[in-house]
Amino acid sequence: MSIMSGTSSQQSHQQPPQRAYPSVIIVGAGLGGLMLGALLEQINIPYHIFERAAEVRPLGSAMTLGPNLMPIFEQLGLVEEIRKFSLPCLGLDVYNESMKHLGTIDLKSHKALAGHEHLLFARPLLYELMRKQVPASKITMGKKVLRTEEKEDRVVIHCSDNTTYEADILIGADGAYSGVRQSLYKQMDAQGILPKVDLENFSIGYVTMVGVANPQDPEKFPQLKDSVSHFTSVMGEGSKNWTIVNVPNNQICWAMSVQLGDSKLKGQQFRNSEWGPEANESMIKEFQDFPTPWGGKMGDIIEATPKHLISKVFLEEKVFKTWYHGRIALLGDAAHKMLPSAGQGAVNAMQDAIVMANCLYNMSNCSVASIRAAFEDYYSQRYHRANEQFERSKSLGKVMLGQTWSDRVVRHAIFNYTPDWVVQRGFAKSFEYRPQAAWLPLAENKGTGKVLPQECKRWEINDKEKQVEQAQQQARQQVQQV
């Protein structure tokens, strides 16, 4: 199958001069792959998404969106849809196994600073919304990529069912154990051009089980009556941690984690890292009698969760050095796998997709040189950003998940000795980066904090957008004067 090249003629968006655009294969229908597909759909760049899973299952637990991504959803007109299944989260509360409150990471001030509150929801609902942005005819399920190759100015994927597909560009958005990345790295290593660090294993520190319980009784869990989301994490004895979060419809998202020491790491099988259901009754039994700060036990919440929607995953981390070569590029977990403690995994995957779409949109033609320039631009914009969030996720992981002696020391220092302004300064710095689509008017900055200029080339900025940019500049000057 060939994904044919085409020209963009859609008049409802700001457009550069008409030109031939490359055809794109996207491997992986996760949030990163879907975001890229949704953006390419707007500008008529021909694409097709191939997903290895045979069917979509609503897996995952709680997820949050904040200032870094809300602007792109404003551009796409999806903010109100997201609000329908979300609740604002004002803080992250941490308790010990005796239900003593250890501390809170405050999020209340972020709306005034960044113009957006943190919206918390069940991850499957965002996935469902993003699926609707991509025509069903452009997603093919049950296609596991075994290898890739470049030939005759095209890139080809070979799937496990003996089918092949080709296009001008291949984007690997197929997760931490990306088949696209493995095939690309194998070829590069054989040529002696792959950095050795890219052959090193992931750093794996936790095994976790997650799910979303069916609607619960608000009389049993009074937190469900509130108009905000309560993010509550418990540091249990030994290496165990459990978290519960309320979302709309009286549902509770939950997660249970075990920190793995060196002895446990040696006995684990790490190659199964999918967000798929796995029977693991022994882990459930370990946690089912643990209390929650809301009353009741973890077993009550787990029992209310459909068994086929419970996922077991390993929490791994690694930033790869090589994100592209030839006609192939990587995004999301295929390029950088982060701990979920800072909620940056899916966020960075979608930011990758935004920048990649912008780089493809600004290509001058379909030549190899133009493809290379687009990928170099993508990498230069995203690598250092992803690496910063990787380190941030690692640090917050010590606070929200860590159970080692040093992790406990860090957590105690954060909650008891670190001034709140120091913590908030880190958040403010993170909020500055907000990539947006190059062909749509910029979303207005509703906060008092700084917003970094867009790094992509923008076309035909209209009068309204100029007014927005001027207002943002005036607001920043007023803040600086204060």
Query: 3-class secondary structure for the chain?
Result: CECCCEECCCCCCCCCCCCEECCEEEECCCHHHHHHHHHHHHCCCCEEEECCCCCCCCCCCEEEECCCCHHHHHHCCCHHHHHHCCEEEEEEEEEECCCCEEEEEECCCHHHHHCCCEEEEEHHHHHHHHHCCCCHHHEECCCCEEEEEEECCEEEEEECCCCEEEECEEEECCCCCCHHHHHHHHHHHHCCCCCHHHHCCCEEEEEEEEEECCCCCCCCCHHHHCCCEEEEEEECCCCEEEEEEEECCCEEEEEEEEECCHHHHHCCCCCCCCCCECCCHHHHHHHCCCECCCCCEHHHHHHCCCHHHCEEEEEEEEECCCCEECCEEECHHHCEECCHHHCCHHHHHHHHHHHHHHHHHCCCCCCHHHHHHHHHHHHHHHHHHHHHHHHHHHHHHHHHCCCCHHHHHHHHHHHHCCCHHHHHHHHHHHHCCCCCCCCCCCCCCCCCCCCCCCCCCCCCCCHHHHHHHHHHHHHHHHHHHC
Query: Above 70 in pLDDT, residue 3?
Result: no
Q: Is residue 448 part of a domain?
A: no
Q: Is residue 402 part of a domain?
A: yes
Q: Is residue 468 part of a domain?
A: no
**Helices 368-400 and 420-431, packing angle to 10 deg:** 160
Domain closes at, from 316, 347, 381: 316
Same domain as 217, residue 190: no
Least confident span in 9-13, 290-294, 364-368: 9-13
- Specify which residues 157 forms β-bridges with: 148, 165
Same domain as 138, residue 100: no
**Where residue 183 sits, what CATH number does that domain have?**
3.50.50.60
Query: Above 70 in pLDDT, residue 267?
Result: no
CA pseudo-torsion sign 352, 353, 356, 357: negative
- Confidence band for 15, pLDDT divided at 50, 70 and 90: low
pLDDT tens for each residue of 449-482 = 999 999 988 875 554 555 555 555 565 455 445 4
Q: Is residue 304 part of a domain?
A: yes
- Confidence band for 74, pLDDT divided at 50, 70 and 90: very high
Same domain as 242, residue 111: yes
pLDDT tens for each residue of 309-354 = 888 877 788 999 999 999 999 999 999 998 776 567 899 999 999 9
Q: Is residue 72 part of a domain?
A: no
Same domain as 275, residue 208: yes
Query: Within 13 A of 193's CA, how many CA atoms are on the CB side?
Result: 8
Domain closes at, from 411, 431, 451: 431
Query: Above 70 in pLDDT, residue 418?
Result: yes
Q: Is residue 466 part of a domain?
A: no
Q: Domain of 160?
A: 6-60+127-201+317-431
Calculate the CA dihedral of residues 274, 280, 284, 285 and round it to 10 degrees: -160
Buried b (16+ CB within 10 A) or exposed e, 292-309: bbbeeebebbbebbeeeb
What pLDDT is stored for residue 416 in this prediction? 86
- The token pair at 434 is 């907000």
Query: Above 60 in pLDDT, residue 275?
Result: no
What percent of the chain clears pLDDT 90, i.e. is strictly above it? 66
**Where residue 277 sits, what CATH number does that domain have?**
3.30.9.30
Q: What is the pTM of this model?
A: 0.88
d(CA 182, CA 187): 9
Mean pLDDT over 192-215 rounds to 90
How many residues are present in the chain? 482
Mean pLDDT over 86-91 rounds to 96
Residue 195 φ then ψ, to 5°: -60, 135
Query: Which residues, including other chains, have CB under 8 Å from residue 447's CB and lie 6 or more apart?
Result: 67, 111, 112, 113, 114, 115, 116, 431
d(CA 258, CA 328): 36
- The token pair at 241 is 């941690």
d(CA 86, CA 119): 6
Same domain as 196, residue 215: no
Q: Is residue 451 part of a domain?
A: no
Same domain as 296, residue 383: no
- Confidence band for 398, pLDDT divided at 50, 70 and 90: confident
Same domain as 95, residue 237: yes
Domain closes at, from 289, 316, 343: 316
Lay out the sheet containing 154-159: strands in order across: 145-151, 154-159, 164-167
d(CA 355, CA 75): 14
**Helices 368-400 and 345-361, packing angle to 10 deg:** 160
- The token pair at 119 is 């919206």
Q: Is residue 222 part of a domain?
A: yes
Q: State the chain's mean pLDDT as an integer.
A: 87
pLDDT tens for each residue of 377-392 = 999 999 999 999 888 8
Same domain as 151, residue 285: no
Same domain as 283, residue 251: yes
What pLDDT is stored for residue 7 in this prediction? 38
> Minimal CA–CA distance to 213: which of 244, 257, 258, 242?
244
Same domain as 141, residue 52: yes
> Minimal CA–CA distance to 45: which of 2, 11, 8, 1?
8
Domain count, the chain: 2
Mean pLDDT over 431-436 rounds to 95
Same domain as 136, residue 19: yes
- The token pair at 29 is 């229908």
Same domain as 149, residue 31: yes
d(CA 183, CA 254): 35
pLDDT tens for each residue of 165-192 = 999 999 999 999 999 999 999 999 999 9
Given a contact cutoff of 8 angstroms between Cβ atoms, the answer to whether 142 and 54 are in contact is yes
